[in-house]
Amino acid sequence: MRFGVLGALQVWRADGEPVRVPEAKVRVLLAALLVREGRPVAPERLIDELWGGELPANPHRVLRAKLSQLRGVLATAEEGGRGRVHHGPAGYRLRVDPDEVDAGRFRDLIERARRASEPRTAAPLYARALALWRGPAYADFAEDSFAVGAATRLAEERLTAVEEWAETRLELGEHRLLADELATLVERHPLRERLLAVLMRALYRSGRQAEALNAFELLRRRLGEELGADPAPETAALHQRILRQVPDGEGERGPGMPPRPRTNLPAPISTIVGRDREVSRVRALIDSERLVTLTGPGGVGKTRLALEAASGLVDGGHGGVWLVELGALGATVGAVPSERVAEAVAAALGVRDDTSERTGGGPVARLTEALRDTTGLLVLDNCEHVVESVMELVHTLLGTVEGLRCLVTSREPLGVTGERVYEVTPLRVPDTEIRPDDGNELPSAVRLFTDRAAAAAPGFRLDARTAPAVTAICRRLDGLPLALELAANRVRALGVAELADRLDDRFAVLADGGRAAPRRQQTLRAVFDWSWDLLSDAERAVLRRLSTHAEGCTLAAAEEVCADSTVQKDEVIGPLSRLVECSLVIAVETTDGMRYRLLGSVGAYAAERLEEAGEAGPVRERHMRYYADLVERADGFLRGHEQRGWLRRLDLESANLRVAFDTAVRTGDADTALRLAVAPFWYRYLRGRLGEAHDLLTRATAVGGGSPEAVAAASAWRAAIELLVAAPEDPAAVASAGLAGFGSGRGEVERARVGWFLGSVLLEFGEVAAAGRLVEEALPVLRSRGDQWATAAALNARAWIAQAEGRLARFEDDARRALELFRELGDRWGQLQAMPVLSQRAKAVGDYDAALRVEREGLRMAEDLGLWTEVSYRLSELGRLSLLNGDHRGAEEFHSRAADLAREQGDRFGERFAELGLAMGDRREGRLDRAATRLGDWLARHRDSQGPSALALVLAELGFVAEQRGDADEALRVHTEGLAAARATGSPLAVALALEGLAGAWTLAGAADRGARLLGAATAARESVGVPLPPAERGDVDRVSAAARAALGDSGFAAETRSGRAAGPEGVDAP
């Protein structure tokens, strides 16, 4: 069950159904227990908090009665719920996990947002966290002393989260939205400087400098009057930057050079690159802990990091610092392993053998006695092959030598009590294209490779020519320092481009290292051979079978794919856990549980071992079938309440789905290839990966074979996606051909599911009639089969067809019903498609604030789902609303962001929509030349692939540009063409806009009487659908009307407009 304290106290079952807590004192009791967050509270304290000074006759008995009532409530919420209220020696407590309370989930989401590496990742997490709040924390108990402290802390955490969210959104360029949203919040909390600083920056970036300065003045005055204080230096500095109109700036600190004291640590031959933060962290750990173990895969740089961290600690209060290299230590017949390790340590420290005569013991006792009064740091390097022996020795030494500390490097932890494990991860690789002139801002893997490559090949330098190959090398080698250094040694012979091309056979290419390096580090293969030799048979089997996975897998996937007669399914977890401990498998905790992945080089090595074992075929087949089943199961969840979670899950499994598909194609398994192409279609569509979907459907149908129903479905969905990624001359014919494979009476339901989608896509091409036929054919089939989601989708498609035809009543009815169904199902993508009906109606009556609220809600929803094509559309709609509100600068920013995002996603329709918004903004700001250029380019690129609705709008805009320039002939030509396109849409509103444009053109040409009649006819067209022109959209009509009235006089103008109104759009003398 779940508990809610961020607002009124609430309890929900696991399925989200509210649970009634009927009695007031029981509610107080539950709140008092929740405040303690699982800690016990004495009965006397509970009695005081429930009744204060008005105690019942037998307070302890009454308390027990209330506790029994509470247990009864919890029992109705979940099986075994009574046991959640536990009584112990310290009192009563409520057994509840942090994630079962909305306050706990709030804190977890905020922490995840703070750890996020990118603002785009952090912003939705902040939004989800803040959305958990339903009112003030513990709102029912504002006067109860037990809740005041918790409520106050939570309120402060909420405000801090709001401030952090605002700063994150500022990074994302949402300053215009923030400038409006934060003003009210700052009024409620006028003395929160951090919040006000974000508001100042948002106002300043939005071009509202005076308001930003005024906000600071109000803060300064309030601080002085209420607290006798001045604004913080940071806020004052921001004020000064705004006054000087300069951007924010931050200073940089340069690293210091630590002294190099005397020690047995070797002098470094080369500088350490990209590890400054790790070095500082390890030194801090050594300061606070007695045993620190650096773990990580072979070649990750554990030894180099340990030496760098240790070198700065000699004579720094740690005594001596001594290195003991255990990599070359092998087992000797008759020797006790721990004694062999002790002897190696003693040799490194110079402990003489003759001390054994005094101690009377072996090497361990002799070493302990020699170090008894010592203060120092012992660096034990490369311990994985003697880990148990090192564990025994370290346990003994730390237990007897009080001043000793140990820094250990190993591919797995020692497992000693008090051990602090620090995982050394690979260097950061480029996420995007690198810029050679970024210097220290370059990813650390790039900096290491270029440093070592320049040393090995003096002519090498990172520039625009070499940057792409360097990026590829760093990514392919996972940022593994040893692999990067081995690769850098090949640059002189191969160059970076050839080196990058040859990394498919990385073990052959990276087969020569430095001669001075230990043998296990002289080649990349030797690094992994060393680890492989230390594994058991079961561990080797699981590791090589894991290599079939791409970019990781869940435990369930590992169990299905790695299990066979040699390793049972329920036994996989044991070897897998050991592989994680040995740093050969990386375990990553995600929202949906743990995932296990291999570094690229580990995966390549394990794949070779899989081939050697003769297991590649059956293991890959198990992998293929597991992911085919998974994606078919996921498809249904993408259309309901669990949509966001399954989108996230499939994002993680995307690479595995491609690998599974490739296996099916390679082995000629047509049915499985078709399953793996069709089942994830909707996922790929939501994520905007249209080219990938088209490619897979094409390849699947080319395999040959497969059931007729599966081939028909794949062909139909391929036709749908082809319409989205290409611009066919006859879109309706492509759609018809795509459906032809279903034949008579075969696959009726699947045909209907594809049919509504094809109809919605055809509408984008202006094929209104064909779109309408497909949707009308699909709806009764979907309704009869009870397919609520597809029915909602078809209704929504029909709504937009009706809007294109000017049937606004049908548009609203269908869209509202679709929205209701999507909300019932919990499908937020569907809600995004239907929500514009609310915005359209608000805009139609001039309520732009209401429309703005709808679009902002849609934007947040799309961002939370990670549907970036939808985000682009919402940004464009916000841009349109900014135009209507006269905020031209804001409109340009919204449309520019929308266009950039659409290009990133390969969304042609979204890009066109945003570009048209930019052109509209140019015209309204009087930048007529730029508007004409944008509109002309739009027509040149998209005229043949665009439907009449968009064409009519673009031609209207271009015609108005010509009229405003005073070119009557051009205006008449363009608006005449625009009227033809508008009539082709069947929409009275499109026709009205074209008539208004022609009115301006004829008035400019000297025929004001004709222009007035056309204005009257346009008014009649708008009245026919009950949608008059809102005031904010009357700019063009008012300009044309003023010119016609000036030429005709008031009475003449009125008479001509009445005439045109009576004739209507069909009877007026338009071309």
> Residues 178-214: pLDDT tens digits?
888 888 888 888 888 899 999 999 888 888 888 889 9
The answer to whether the beta carbons of residues 319 and 376 sit under 8 Å apart is yes
What integer pLDDT is reported at residue 331 of this predicted model?
A: 42
CA gap 154, 327 in Å, rounded? 52
CA angle in degrees (0–180, nearest 5) for 272-277-281: 110
Q: Select from 16, 4, 112, 104 the least CA-distant residue to 591.
A: 112
Arithmetic mean of pLDDT, 643-665: 94
Q: Report the 10 Å Cβ neighbour count for 466.
A: 20
The answer to whether the beta carbons of residues 1007 and 1013 sit under 8 Å apart is no
CA gap 765, 1055 in Å, rounded? 40
Pair of tokens at residue 558? 């590992």
CA gap 544, 567 in Å, rounded? 13
Q: Would you give the DSSP letter of residue 653?
A: H
| Residue 249 in this model has a pLDDT that exceeds 60 | no
CA gap 610, 627 in Å, rounded? 20
Pair of tokens at residue 227? 């607290």
- The residues pairing with 333 across neighbouring beta strands, listed in sequence order, are none
Element (H, E) at 1011: helix 1008-1024
| Residue 543 in this model has a pLDDT that exceeds 60 | yes
| Residue 1037 in this model has a pLDDT that exceeds 90 | yes
Instruction: Read off the pLDDT of residues 988-998 as tens digits, 9 standing for 90 and up.
Output: 889 999 999 99
Instruction: Read off the pLDDT of residues 606-617 as tens digits, 9 standing for 90 and up.
Output: 999 999 999 999
Instruction: Read off the pLDDT of residues 711-766 as tens digits, 9 standing for 90 and up.
Output: 999 999 999 999 988 878 889 999 999 998 887 656 889 999 999 999 999 988 87
Q: Which amino acid is located at 277 in the chain?
A: R
What integer pLDDT is reported at residue 812 of this predicted model?
A: 86
- The residues pairing with 12 across neighbouring beta strands, listed in sequence order, are 2, 18
- Burial (CB count within 10 angstroms: exposed 0-12, middle 13-18, buried 19+), residue 1066: exposed
What integer pLDDT is reported at residue 905 of this predicted model?
A: 83
**Angle, in degrees to the nearest 10, between helices 233-244 and 193-205:** 10
| Residue 572 in this model has a pLDDT that exceeds 90 | yes
Q: Which amino acid is located at 557 in the chain?
A: A
The proportion of the chain whose per-residue pLDDT surpasses 70, expressed as a percent, equals 94
Pair of tokens at residue 516? 């001075």
- Burial (CB count within 10 angstroms: exposed 0-12, middle 13-18, buried 19+), residue 798: buried
What integer pLDDT is reported at residue 352 of this predicted model?
A: 59
Pair of tokens at residue 124? 């939705």
What integer pLDDT is reported at residue 317 of this predicted model?
A: 55
- Pairing of the two strands 586-590 and 593-597: antiparallel
Pair of tokens at residue 918? 């930019």
| Residue 533 in this model has a pLDDT that exceeds 90 | no
- Burial (CB count within 10 angstroms: exposed 0-12, middle 13-18, buried 19+), residue 71: middle
Arithmetic mean of pLDDT, 844-851: 84
Lowest-confidence range among 311-320, 867-876, 943-952?
311-320
The proportion of the chain whose per-residue pLDDT surpasses 90, expressed as a percent, equals 51
What integer pLDDT is reported at residue 258 of this predicted model?
A: 31
CA gap 852, 856 in Å, rounded? 6
| Residue 939 in this model has a pLDDT that exceeds 60 | yes
User: How far does CA 338 lie from the centroid of its chain?
Assistant: 49
Q: Select from 168, 160, 170 the least CA-distant residue to 123.
A: 168
Q: Select from 889, 888, 921, 915 the least CA-distant residue to 902.
A: 915
Lowest-confidence range among 256-265, 541-550, 764-773, 980-989?
256-265
User: How far does CA 465 lie from the centroid of its chain?
Assistant: 31
CA gap 465, 23 in Å, rounded? 74
Select the more confidently predicted residue: 498 or 265: 498
- Burial (CB count within 10 angstroms: exposed 0-12, middle 13-18, buried 19+), residue 187: exposed
- Those residues whose C-beta lies under 8 Å from the C-beta of residue 814, and which sit 6 or more positions away, are 795, 796, 798, 799, 802
| Phi, psi angle pair for 375, to nearest 5° | -115, 120
pLDDT confidence band for 663 (50 / 70 / 90): very high
The answer to whether the beta carbons of residues 875 and 866 sit under 8 Å apart is no
What integer pLDDT is reported at residue 262 of this predicted model?
A: 46
The answer to whether the beta carbons of residues 306 and 266 sit under 8 Å apart is no
- Burial (CB count within 10 angstroms: exposed 0-12, middle 13-18, buried 19+), residue 447: buried
Arithmetic mean of pLDDT, 236-265: 57
Number of helical H runs and strand E runs in the chain: 49, 13
CA gap 816, 208 in Å, rounded? 38
For the ranges 253-257, 797-801, 1065-1069, the one whose mean pLDDT is highest: 797-801
- Please provide the size of the chain in residues: 1071
The answer to whether the beta carbons of residues 1039 and 1002 sit under 8 Å apart is no
| Residue 536 in this model has a pLDDT that exceeds 80 | yes
| Phi, psi angle pair for 873, to nearest 5° | -65, -40
Instruction: Read off the pLDDT of residues 803-816 as tens digits, 9 standing for 90 and up.
Output: 888 787 888 899 99
Instruction: Read off the pLDDT of residues 322-370 as tens digits, 9 standing for 90 and up.
Output: 898 887 675 443 344 678 888 888 877 777 555 444 445 678 888 888 7
User: How far does CA 874 lie from the centroid of its chain?
Assistant: 18
User: How far does CA 60 lie from the centroid of its chain?
Assistant: 52
What integer pLDDT is reported at residue 341 of this predicted model?
A: 86
| Phi, psi angle pair for 1052, to nearest 5° | -65, -40
Summary mean pLDDT of the chain: 88
* CA end-to-end distance (rounded Å), the chain: 69
The answer to whether the beta carbons of residues 865 and 829 sit under 8 Å apart is yes
pLDDT confidence band for 914 (50 / 70 / 90): very high
CA gap 948, 137 in Å, rounded? 54
The SS3 call for residue 191 is coil
CA gap 959, 972 in Å, rounded? 7
What integer pLDDT is reported at residue 505 of this predicted model?
A: 85
Element (H, E) at 4: strand 2-4
The answer to whether the beta carbons of residues 735 and 700 sit under 8 Å apart is no
Q: Which amino acid is located at 238 in the chain?
A: L
The answer to whether the beta carbons of residues 177 and 169 sit under 8 Å apart is yes
Please indicate, yes or no, whether the overall pTM of this predicted structure exceeds 0.85. Answer: no
The SS3 call for residue 291 is strand
Q: Report the 10 Å Cβ neighbour count for 810.
A: 15
For the ranges 257-271, 306-320, 948-962, the one whose mean pLDDT is highest: 948-962
